[in-house]
């Protein structure tokens, strides 16, 4: 059986637990929450013990069969979790999962958690074997209309009274990112409990918290919005945010873009991004930037960031905030001289 994330809870509430579950997809929030719901349902039915296997490089797939065959020391029923990497189970793992699914014991619930899977993986024998023996849930990115429905339902579950304009604005602002939308709903629940919420309340909350977030800065720079990124940098300094976490966020983005740019030059960009767990929209942004970026320029930025790190620690001379401007402009693909948009040093 294959179900959508919004169908899984109803399936758990209305039907006996299956012996095998595969939870995967492009939306990590839905995968994580689905796993939490499944664990809760299993615990309510006596699955009190949990064993976790991480199928990383060099994993011995015999462990899966052994774990399924061994008796629990503390409970009659248990959950066996198998965490797959972005590369999937491979040939030995596929065979092991197929064998397990055919002979899955009633006393053990197999929960397989995976990152986004390629179309070929969703057609593989192991995937079909789990779907036949149990339940498969794949979390696809939500289109605009379903994103609004998801926000409306989640807001209602938090006791929020959001009108249609508020829902539409939040959907537009979070751009399909469910985790960001969930965080905004949590924030709105704190700010506006038991009061109607319109577009103005959503806009105010976004302006105060999300738009100038540390992670918003590298996103704007990556999109080429140098002016917007510098305004975010100025806002962060005005709010008293330390230079160290801002440096970390910028360097993380520069390093990822550098790796993607090298992969693009070697016609390996799709394979490289397939191994990174992030929203599809963000992957598209990275891919577009990587095709136009200069790897030598990014390498120089990474060298500059090492100097900035030493300045942040007081181990070298320099002005961290001036260097942050240079890194921001460099990530945005702009000349790395002092910009016309100044940062208040008061």
pLDDT of residue 342: 41
pLDDT of residue 39: 94
Asked if 254 and 157 sit in the same domain, the reply is: no
pLDDT of residue 336: 55
Whether 110 shows a pLDDT value over 50: the answer reads yes
Q: Flag whether 337 is in a domain.
A: no
Contact partners, residue 197, CB within 8 Å, separation at least 6: 155, 160, 161, 162, 163, 166, 188
How many distinct structural domains can be found in the chain?
3
Q: Flag whether 318 is in a domain.
A: yes
Asked if 132 and 119 sit in the same domain, the reply is: yes
Whether 190 shows a pLDDT value over 60: the answer reads yes
pLDDT of residue 340: 38
Angle at 170 between CA 277 and CA 192, to 5 degrees: 115
Q: What is the CATH number of the domain that holds 128?
A: 3.40.50.300
Q: What is the mean pLDDT of the chain?
A: 83
Q: What is the CATH number of the domain that holds 272?
A: 1.20.272
- What tokens were used for 217? 């800065």
Asked if 103 and 157 sit in the same domain, the reply is: no
Asked if 16 and 96 sit in the same domain, the reply is: yes
Dist CA 200 CA 253 (whole Å): 32
Dist CA 196 CA 162 (whole Å): 6
Dist CA 230 CA 324 (whole Å): 9
Q: What is the CATH number of the domain that holds 175?
A: 1.10.8.60
Q: Residue with structure tokens 């209602």?
A: 156
Q: Residue with structure tokens 């299993």?
A: 42
- What tokens were used for 269? 């960009």
pLDDT average, residue stretch 313-325: 72
Asked if 112 and 176 sit in the same domain, the reply is: no
pLDDT average, residue stretch 272-301: 82
Per cent of the chain over pLDDT 70 is 89
pLDDT band of residue 188 (cuts 50, 70, 90) is confident
- Domain of residue 176: give its range: 144-210
Q: Flag whether 257 is in a domain.
A: yes
Asked if 300 and 313 sit in the same domain, the reply is: yes
- Residue ending a domain, among 166, 191, 210, is 210
pLDDT average, residue stretch 35-50: 92
Whether 338 shows a pLDDT value over 50: the answer reads no
Q: Flag whether 346 is in a domain.
A: no
Asked if 284 and 317 sit in the same domain, the reply is: yes
pLDDT of residue 317: 57
């Amino acid at each position: 059986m294959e179900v959508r994330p919004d169908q899984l809870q109803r399936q758990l509430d209305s039907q006996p637990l299956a012996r095998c579950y595969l939870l995967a997809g492009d939306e990590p929030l839905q995968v994580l929450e689905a796993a939490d719901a499944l664990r809760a349902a299993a615990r309510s039915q006596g699955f009190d013990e949990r064993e976790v296997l991480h199928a990383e490089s060099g994993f011995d797939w015999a462990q899966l069969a052994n774990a399924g065959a061994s008796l629990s020391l503390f409970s009659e029923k248990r959950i066996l979790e198998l965490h797959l990497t972005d590369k999937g189970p491979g040939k030995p793992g596929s065979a092991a999962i197929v064998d397990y699914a055919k002979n899955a014991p009633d006393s053990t619930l197999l929960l397989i958690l995976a990152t986004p899977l390629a179309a070929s993986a969703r057609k593989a024998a192991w995937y079909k074997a789990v779907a036949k023996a149990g339940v498969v849930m794949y979390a696809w990115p939500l289109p605009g209309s379903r994103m609004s429905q998801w926000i409306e339902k989640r807001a209602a579950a938090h006791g929020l009274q959001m009108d249609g304009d508020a829902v539409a604005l939040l959907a537009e602002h979070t751009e399909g990112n469910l985790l960001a939308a969930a965080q905004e709903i949590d924030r709105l629940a704190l700010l506006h409990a038991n009061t109607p919420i319109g577009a103005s309340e959503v806009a105010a909350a976004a302006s105060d918290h999300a738009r100038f977030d540390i992670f918003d800065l590298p996103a704007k720079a990556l999109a080429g919005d140098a002016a917007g990124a510098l305004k975010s940098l100025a806002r962060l300094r005005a709010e008293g945010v330390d230079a160290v976490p801002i440096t970390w966020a910028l360097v993380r983005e520069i390093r990822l873009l550098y790796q993607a740019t090298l992969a693009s030059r070697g016609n390996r960009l799709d394979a490289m991004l397939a191994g990174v767990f992030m929203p599809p929209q963000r992957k598209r942004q990275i891919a577009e930037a990587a095709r136009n970026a200069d790897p030598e320029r990014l390498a120089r930025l990474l060298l500059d960031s090492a100097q900035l790190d030493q300045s942040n620690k007081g181990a070298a001379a320099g002005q961290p905030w001036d260097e942050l401007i240079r890194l921001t402009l460099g990530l945005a693909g702009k000349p790395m001289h002092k910009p016309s948009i100044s940062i208040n040093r008061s």
